[in-house]
Structures are given as structure tokens and as C-alpha cells.
Amino acid sequence: MARHAQPINPWPGIVAAAFVVTVVIAAFVGIGQRVEATSGLRIAEWQAVRFTVWQALLSALLSVLLAVPVARALARRRLPGHRVLVTLLGAPFILPVIVAVLGLLAIFGRKGWLNTGLGLLGLPEVSIYGAHGVVLAHVFFNMPLATRLILQGWQSVPAEQFRMVGQLGLSPRMVFRVIEWPILRQVVPGAFALIFVICLTSFAVALTLGGGPRATTIELAIYQAFRFDFDLGRAAVLSLLQLAVAGAAAVLALWILPPIALQNGRDRAVRRWDAPAPWGDAIWITFAAGFLLLPLMSIALSGLAGLSYMPLSVLSATWTTIWVACVSTVVLLALALPMAAWLAQARWGGAEALTLLGLVASPLMIGTGWFILIYPYVSPTAFALPVTALINAMMALPFAVRILLPPMRQVFNDYGRLSMGLGLRGVSNWRIVLIPRLRPQIGFAAGLTAALSVGDLGVVALFADPDVATLPLQMYRLMGSYRTEAAAGAALVLVALAFGMFWICDAWGRRHVDG
């Protein structure tokens, strides 16, 4: 019997997946060594679990609720600056968390624009710190993401359907029922699930805006058990809790996660006949633009002013960040490309579930496990940067594989037989067929990974000693010592770095694209 011929050997992909699984299992082993050393769960742990789930639910709910009218407005109105705004909606996804927090502080913080305004009116000031601050920051990050997902859904509606609407003279309410609602029902559960899972592992936001018994996520509690008490047993128990919560959520979310689209796809202008009075849409668009742009603007303004205050440590941190991001990106490609090739050829569709392991295993959980394994033998700080680079790559893996898989399936479908007939196997197939055909997606995935790695403030905070720092960590330290101008300057460098590295990779991917 002839075996089923395949252009790419699945084994490198299986080995890559096994490597990822091994890293996670090793972390479990580390955690397992410490779990019995502690006695049960205390109230603080249950509070952390409750807050983690509650804030993730609320963040996802608010993000989606606000995204629906904004996406609806963007879908049926073309105000000046429409394209720029839709592109900017993609920005928060790669914006370093710590930078966004600084931007939000400039608007909503104690001396921010909002409180200054309230003060002028003689009203009491509001505080951004605490649970509502955490949710606000999550909505800032995820409302644009949800908006883009919903917008993509509506843009997939064929123009003919809207011509039909014009012909039948349907009211906006009928249009909502006939066209918009069915798409919402498809897109919203996926967007909600994605945001919920992302918020479950929130660390940097909780670190900067949360804290205290009523605003501590599990990830933050792990960090505190580590840094403040050096209670590895408690960190291990919390890691298990994080795993249980995120794992349960990821399994539930697995079947409804939306595909991650490249850029904003075709931003087609569809003529609509159903748009009611324009001011409602304009208000929503202005609200979204303001919510998105004001913090970004404040970063740019205060950053420029702060550039001259930056200490030399920012420079060395910048260098560290660049090489960690480069290593992360290389590791990611070495894992994601063979895995995607294996999964794209596999007839077993459930294989994609493996990639979600990256989302289930949170950075601080893996970090905790590895710390416990390493520290009896060598100083974990020596491994701070390699571990950070590896974990950053693993965190980007689910996204990268989801970006690569659909086009890779398409290539095997369209050119698999031709490749095999010509004997294009293994390395030749990668060089001559796969990489040229997948260049845009590879560039996008690499850019995303580089940007996420640049902005990451997670496991590095766990491992690093005062001499070692990535730029986000250095910025956090500057903020912690109230050197706000210097932090603002570092924020600007960080943003430039994140977007710069994303742009370089993405531009590489989009060059010479044809056919």
C-alpha cells in the first residue's frame, strides 16, 4: 500500500511541539517539588482567583459592548481619517503594556488631564488605581481588537446584500436584524473568548495599576510571593491555580477563537443605503478615537520632553531588549514554521489545540517552575534573559501558528502535488515554495513576536537582578522611583522600538509579494 506522500517531513514539527511540551512539563516538575511544602489555600489566594476571573469577564464584556457601536459606525460611515483610525486600532495589540499604562496615567492619573479638568470644575478627583483601573487598561487594549474583529466580520458581507437593502428600503433596525446581527452572533463569542483568555494572564497591568487584596491577579500574586516573601511554595500553589483557571478557559475558548487576520484585510468602501442621522456614528467614532489617541498623544508629548532626562541605564536596557527580541523571534520561527507545516499536512484537525498550551501556561507559571528547577544549582539571574527570550517566543506561538496555518494549508492544497511531482521536498520545498509563498504571514508573525517581546514585562521581572533589565523593566523601575520624566523618555524609545521592529519584519514580508 502506498503511504500518503507529503512534501514536508512532519518530524521537525513534532519535535518542535515536543520541545514546547517539555518546557511546560519541566515547569510543572519544578512547581510540583514545592507544592507540598505549603498548607492549603488561604483567603488571599481565593481572592486572587476571584479577582482574576471577575476582571477578565468584565474587561471582555465592556470591550465587546463598546466595540459593537464603534465598529458599526466605522462600517457605515467614512469620516475623514477613517483609514488612519482603522490602522491605529491595530496599534494597542503591539503597544508595550507599560507604555500604555503611562499614557493612561497621563489622562486618568492623579495629575492627569481628567482630574485637572475635574479640579477646575471643583469636583472630587477620581483614582485610576485599583480594580477599575485594571479594567480600564484592559478595555483600552482590547476594545480596539474587538472593534477590528467585528469590523472584519461586517466587511465580509458582500456588497450585493447592501444593494438589496437599498432596493428594499429596509430601515436601520431591519438591516441590523437581517445582516448585522447574524454576523455579530458569529464574531462576538470568539472576540469575547479571546479577550477573556488574554486578560486572565494579565500581569503588567495589575502590577502597575492594581495591587492590594482587591486588585491582585493570580499572576501578580505569584510575583509578590516571589519578590516580597520569597515563598516558593506559595508561588507554586498560585501557579497551579493559574493553570487551572487559564486551562479551563482555554479549553472552553478553543472552539470559538477567531482567526487572526493579517492587517485589516481589504478595507473596502461599501456603499450603504441604510445609514441614519450621522451624528450618532460620529459620536462613537470620536469617542473611540479620543480614548485611543489621547493616551498615545500624551506619551509622544511627555516622551519628547523626557528624552533628555533618561539615564544611561536606558541605553543598555535598550540594547538588551533588542537582542532578547531578536532571539525570541528566531526561536519562534524555528518552532512555529515546522509546527505549522506539520499541522497543515495533518489530517487530524484537533492538532491546533496544542498551540493553545502557550496560552494556558502563563509566563509567570513557567518562570516559577524553571526558577525552582534552576536555583539550587546556579543563580537564576544568570538565566533571566535566555528564559525571557524563550518564554516570549512561546507566548507568541499560538498567535504565530494561527497566522501561518491557514495560508500554509492553502499552499499545500494548491501546490502540494506539483511540489511532490517535481521532487521538491524538505529544505528545497521551504526555500522554493513555502517561504516565498508565505512571506507576508512569516513577516507579520515575526513582527508581532518581536514587538510583543520588546514590550514584555513579565517573567523578566521575576528573574532579573538590579543589574539586568529589559527596557520595560527599566521603565517600571524609573516609574517606581518617581522619575516620571525619565520614564516618559524611555516610553518613547520603547514605543519606537516595538513599532520599528514590527515594521521591519512586516515590510520584509510585504516586499516582492506577487502571484
Positions in the binding site for another protein (CB under 8 A)? 1-5, 414-415, 417-418, 420-425, 428, 431-433, 436-437, 514-515
- Residue 59 gets which letter from DSSP? H
* 2 versus 43: smaller Cβ distance to another protein: 2
CB of 2 to another protein, least distance (A): 5
Please give the single-letter amino acid code of residue 373: L
* 306 versus 443: smaller Cβ distance to another protein: 443
CB of 418 to another protein, least distance (A): 6
Dig out the grid coordinates for 434 from the structure: 513555502
Q: How far is CA 277 from CA 85, 170, 200, 274, 289, in A?
A: 21, 15, 39, 10, 20
CB of 441 to another protein, least distance (A): 14
Taking the C-alpha atoms of residue 221 and residue 224, their distance in angstroms, rounded to an integer, is 5
* 331 versus 404: smaller Cβ distance to another protein: 404
336 in Cβ contact with 400 (< 8 Å): yes
* 77 versus 425: smaller Cβ distance to another protein: 425
Dig out the grid coordinates for 281 from the structure: 456614528
* 173 versus 417: smaller Cβ distance to another protein: 417
Taking the C-alpha atoms of residue 459 and residue 471, their distance in angstroms, rounded to an integer, is 13
* 163 versus 425: smaller Cβ distance to another protein: 425
Helix, strand, coil in percent for the chain, rounding step 5: 80, 0, 20
CB of 266 to another protein, least distance (A): 19
Cβ-Cβ contacts under 8 Å for 399 (sequence gap 6 or more): 260, 445, 448
Taking the C-alpha atoms of residue 172 and residue 165, their distance in angstroms, rounded to an integer, is 10
* 152 versus 429: smaller Cβ distance to another protein: 429
Taking the C-alpha atoms of residue 443 and residue 101, their distance in angstroms, rounded to an integer, is 28
* 415 versus 508: smaller Cβ distance to another protein: 415
Taking the C-alpha atoms of residue 355 and residue 378, their distance in angstroms, rounded to an integer, is 31
* 249 versus 433: smaller Cβ distance to another protein: 433
* 111 versus 431: smaller Cβ distance to another protein: 431
CB of 116 to another protein, least distance (A): 56
CB of 416 to another protein, least distance (A): 8
Radius of gyration of the chain (CA): 24
Please count the CA atoms within 13 angstroms of the CA of 279 that sit on its side-chain side: 0
Please count the CA atoms within 13 angstroms of the CA of 122 that sit on its side-chain side: 0
CB of 407 to another protein, least distance (A): 13
CB of 17 to another protein, least distance (A): 25
358 in Cβ contact with 36 (< 8 Å): no
Q: Tell which residue, 361, 142, 403, has the closest CA to residue 258.
A: 403
* 3 versus 266: smaller Cβ distance to another protein: 3
Dig out the grid coordinates for 117 from the structure: 479638568
Region of 265 (left: φ > 0; alpha: ψ -120 to 50; beta: rest) is left
47 in Cβ contact with 213 (< 8 Å): yes
Cα–Cα–Cα angle for 276, 281, 287, nearest 5°? 165
Which stretches of 318-462 are assigned E, i.e. beta strand?
Answer: none
CB of 264 to another protein, least distance (A): 24
Q: How remote is the C-alpha of 463 from its chain's centroid?
A: 22
* 103 versus 416: smaller Cβ distance to another protein: 416
- Per-position b or e across 80-118, b if 16+ CB within 10 A of its CB: eeeeebbebbbbbbbbbbbbbbbbbbbbbbeebeebeee
